[in-house]
Amino acid sequence: MNDITIALGSEAQAVADWLASFEAALATGTEAALRRVLWHSEMHWRDLMAFTWTITPHDTLDETVADLVKMQPSIQARNFKLAEARTPARRVMRHGIATIEAFFSFETEIARCSGIVRLVAGEPDKAWVLATQLDELKGHEEPVGLRRPAGSAYSRTFGGDNWSDHRAKAQAYADHDPAVLIIGAGQAGLAIAARLGLLGVDTLLVDMRARVGDIWRERYHSLALHNQVKLNHMPYLPWPPNWPKYLPKDMIAGWLETYAWAMECNVWTSTEFLGADYDDDQGHWTVRLRRDDGSERVMQPRHLIMANGVAGRPLKAKLPGLDSFKGTVMHTHDYKEGQQWAGKKVLIVGVGTSAHDVAQDLHGRGAQVKMIQRGPATVASVKAAGLVHSVYYEEDLPLEDCDMIAAASSYPLLVRSYQAAVEKMKQVDKDLLDGLAARGFKLDWGDDNTGHQMKFRRRHGGYYLNCGCSELIVSGEIGLLQHEDTDMYCETGLRMKDGSIEEADLIVLATGYQSQEAVVREMLGDKTADRVGQIWGIAPNGEIASMFVATPQPGLWFTGGGFAHCRIYSHFIAMGIKVRELGLIA
């Protein structure tokens, strides 16, 4: 996974030659010509809306040729050339293969696009990885940089409305409904709203909390991100350059509130989403909202985006005897800080990320903490985890180049990378992992040895990136119990199978959340839930199911994941909606 750049002189020419042969084959529109383009025996093409109008992985030559022949007559891709303003062609190691990697640009009949190609360094006329991306629609470019608006509608309009007046009227929706309604004003919803706003698509976010950023502000006192700042920028407005590498929750919360203001996002806070129904004949939703004053508003947007995370309400596991416990029971979702539990005994059910963070916070506040492990978990240090999910972002490349490198890999390549990274992570963390094993902590690396990153994609849990809690377990300062050794909960705590009692004043349930499928069924009905099917996890094509693309339910979109997911894929959701608003696709 370590990508080491080697300076050579012929990389650019090799890429230019390959792009020329590729374009010539495309122009013929025939399968035979495209098969004569020099491809490696293993080839992968991930299209991000440039040819297929959606996110489409291709992991065989047959798939690639079929889609190119099908789409080229209408797409008319042309003018392929090395991208002048991007990272120059260079040799790097990607997925264990020596590669010539280069960024290129091209255009279609209606769009400007970019891409990345990787040639095999030992056979520099053969491509093995290709990614193509829709960047902007001709005639509908974002008004940024040199295209920024003059502001004449509200600047120095003496006697007329100023900018604040315009913003107040835009957010009121007194006489119309938005084209797009986004549920959730966290980083996922805000990123899409900002992009849609610059594309001229009327968009409203609604959030049940009182302030933008409260989704972070209200979380437990010690929370900070477990990966570094460069991975986590928001679109258009990166984090301030003096901010720490690992962002604390309150800085994130304040920035999101600032982001909503600066990017002119229309937000209704203290607004509850009550549910929605889709009218197939009219092509719009009927959405029911309750405002903070108790009044209800019905809106009819054409698009509904669920940006409420990839999970719903906290699940409080039904544990035997827990109802008889006389102390306090709470879910990690409701945990804020541990000062009131100083000197008290606490049991934490679970060993995922939230369980570890809460345990460490309580220990730091003077509580006596024991964790109950119900199943094996993946543990990696923050340093070792960086071998996987931030390696591209440590190469001192422009952020847009890092994002395209990250987005270029389809499922088989990700599996290969994660497996290789896990072996390195085990070496980096050997002492820590040995210490945990000695304490009886049950470790695993996923079904196919792909570690925490594929666990995130498949189930959004089952791992912990160590910020110090593992050392506390190894030292015995935080205790560890195994679920199979427990019998049932009782008035004073937890009875073990040997008859002993683990006393507790507080039991914290780190037992997960309701699935997004369940949320959809509850809020949008069985018909919509059945249409959509799986949400999150790995779909048959290797993509994250139903995320960032048009779903089988017209007008319904899903987003979620980490900050990098929100930054990268908000672009494609916004583009997907814009092309439908323009009538370019159904």
- Residue 141: C-alpha distances to residues 74, 112, 199, 512, 584 (Å): 21, 10, 7, 42, 16
Cα gap 362→339, rounded to integer Å:
8
What is each CA distance from 332 to 214, 339, 355, in whole angstroms?
Answer: 16, 15, 7
Mean pLDDT computed over 267-295: 97
The pLDDT score that the predictor gives to residue 310 is 63
In a domain, 161, yes or no: no
Identify residue 32 by its one-letter amino acid code.
Answer: A
Please check whether residue 357 is in contact with residue 381, taking contact to mean a CB–CB distance below 8 angstroms.
no
Q: Is residue 277 domain-shared with residue 384, that is, in the same domain?
A: no
Q: How far apart are CA 180 and CA 186, in angstroms?
A: 16
- Cα separation of 361 and 339, whole Å? 9
CATH of the domain at 379: 3.50.50.60
122: alpha, beta or left? (left if phi > 0; alpha if psi -120 to 50): alpha
How big is the CA angle at 276 (ends 271 and 278), to the nearest 5 degrees?
Answer: 145
What per-residue confidence (pLDDT) applies to 388?
65
Whether residue 100 is found in the same domain as residue 200: no
CA angle 306, 311, 316 (to 5 degrees): 145
What are the pLDDT digits (tens) for 310-336? Answer: 666 787 888 999 999 999 999 998 998
Averaged pLDDT of the chain: 93
Residue whose tokens read 């042309």:
78
- Tell which of 453, 484, 511 closes a domain: 511
Residue 501 lies in a domain: yes
Better-scored residue on pLDDT, 430 or 313: 430
More confident residue, 395 or 169: 169
For residues 201-216, average pLDDT: 96
Least confident of 37-51, 80-94, 155-169, 473-487: 155-169
Answer yes or no: is 71 within a domain. yes
Distance, CA of 347 to CA of 360 (rounded, Å) = 12
pLDDT for the residue 235: 97
Say how many residues make up the chain: 586
For residue 278, the cross-strand partners are 285
Lowest mean pLDDT among 93-107, 308-322, 401-415, 549-563: 308-322
Closest residue by Cα to residue 365 from 533, 478, 287, 458: 478
Q: Tell me what pLDDT residue 437 has.
A: 97
Please say if the pLDDT value at position 58 is more than 60. Answer: yes
Q: Are 536 and 474 in the same domain?
A: no
The answer to whether the beta carbons of residues 358 and 220 sit under 8 Å apart is: yes
Neighbours of 360 (CB within 10 A): 23
pLDDT score at 220: 81
To the question of pTM greater than 0.85 for the whole model, the response is yes
Residue 547 shares a structural domain with residue 558: yes
Report how far residue 341's alpha carbon sits from residue 507's, in angstroms, rounded to the nearest whole number.
11
**Which amino acid is it at 103?**
F
CA distance 518 to 512: 13
124: CATH: 3.10.450.50
Placement of tokens 């255009």 in the chain: 107
In a domain, 25, yes or no: yes
- DSSP of 208-222: SSSSTTHHHHTS-TT
User: Do both 492 and 475 map to the same domain?
Assistant: yes
Percent of the chain topping pLDDT 70: 97
Domain range spanning residue 188?
177-312+514-581
Beta strand 303-306 with 556-558 is parallel
Residue 548, sorted as left (phi over 0), alpha (psi -120 to 50) or beta, turns out to be: left
* Rounded-to-integer distance, Cα 26 and Cα 545, Å: 30
Pairing of strands 311-314, 284-290: unpaired
CA distance 42 to 94: 14
436 and 459 share a domain? Answer: yes
| Residue 149 in domain | no
Residues 436, 320, 507, CA angle at the centre, nearest 5°?
55
pLDDT number for residue 219: 86
Question: Quick one: 214 and 272 in the same domain?
Answer: yes
Looking at the fold, whether 442 and 503 belong to one and the same domain comes out as yes
Long-range contacts (CB closer than 8 Å, 24 or more residues apart) made by 546-551: 547/310, 548/55, 548/572, 548/573, 549/54, 549/55, 549/573, 549/576, 550/54, 550/576, 550/580
User: Do 456 and 560 form a contact (C-beta atoms < 8 A)?
Assistant: no
Identify whether residues 448 and 491 lie together within a single domain: yes
Alpha carbons 34 and 25: distance in angstroms, whole number: 5
How many CB atoms within 10 Å of residue 282?
10
pLDDT in tens, 219-251: 888 888 888 888 899 999 999 999 999 999 999
Give the residue from 84, 119, 137 where a domain finishes.
137
**Same domain? 367 vs 471:** yes
Q: What distance in Å separates the CA atoms of residue 562 and residue 263, rounded to the nearest whole number?
A: 20
pLDDT of residue 9: 62
Whether 171 is covered by a domain: the verdict is no
Give the range among 7-11, 162-166, 278-282 with minimum mean pLDDT: 7-11
User: Among residues 85, 108, 137, which one ends one of the domains?
Assistant: 137
Total structural domains within the chain: 3
Of 248, 239, 182, 252, nearest to 213 (Cα)? 252
Q: What is the pLDDT of residues 114-155, one digit of tens each?
A: 999 999 999 999 999 999 999 999 999 999 999 998 877 777
H/E element holding 177? Answer: none
- Do 359 and 380 belong to one domain? yes
Residue 5 has pLDDT above 50, yes or no: no
| One domain for residues 325 and 416 | yes
Query: How far apart are the C-alpha atoms of 153 and 157, rounded to whole Å?
Result: 7
Average pLDDT of the segment spanning 173-195: 97
Q: Summarize pLDDT for 341-379 with one digit per residue, the tens.
A: 999 999 999 999 999 999 999 999 999 999 999 999 999
**Closest C-alpha among 158, 167, 170 to residue 202:** 170
pLDDT band per the 50, 70, 90 thresholds, residue 110? very high
